[in-house]
């Protein structure tokens, strides 16, 4: 997110959608490591599935918000 904002000539301000993406990615990490604490091998496939779904949602939120920024000219008018 920081690189995307800086390379497109924008200020380092975080949109609520990107904050949501951060939260979803943290949930993905927790879903990945929680199954051994919650019930062992039977919950592990569910944890992996939830983790994968959270990663997809997080990156989808990122793409929705950054698509316009990454496909248009820099906001500050500099080349690049």
What is the per-residue pLDDT across 14-62, written as a single tens digit (0 to 9) for each?
899 999 999 999 999 999 988 888 777 778 888 899 999 999 999 999 9
User: Would you place residue 70 in the very low, low, confident or very high pLDDT band (cuts 50, 70, 90)?
Assistant: confident
pTM for the predicted model, two decimal places: 0.80
Q: Does residue 76 contact residue 49 with C-beta atoms inside 8 Å?
A: no
Exposure string for 12-47, b = 16+ CB within 10 A, e = fewer: eeeeeebeebeebbebbeebbebbeeeeeeeeeeeb
Q: Give SS3 for 42.
A: helix
Nearest to 60 by CA among 52, 36, 5: 52
């Amino acid at each position: 997110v920081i690189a995307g904002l800086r390379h497109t000539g924008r200020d380092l301000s975080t949109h609520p959608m990107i904050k949501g993406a951060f939260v979803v990615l943290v949930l993905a990490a927790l879903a990945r490591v929680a199954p051994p604490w919650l019930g062992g091998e039977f919950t592990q496939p569910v944890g992996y599935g939830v983790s994968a779904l959270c990663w997809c949602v997080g990156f989808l939120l990122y793409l929705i918000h950054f698509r316009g920024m990454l496909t248009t000219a820099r906001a500050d008018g500099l080349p690049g």
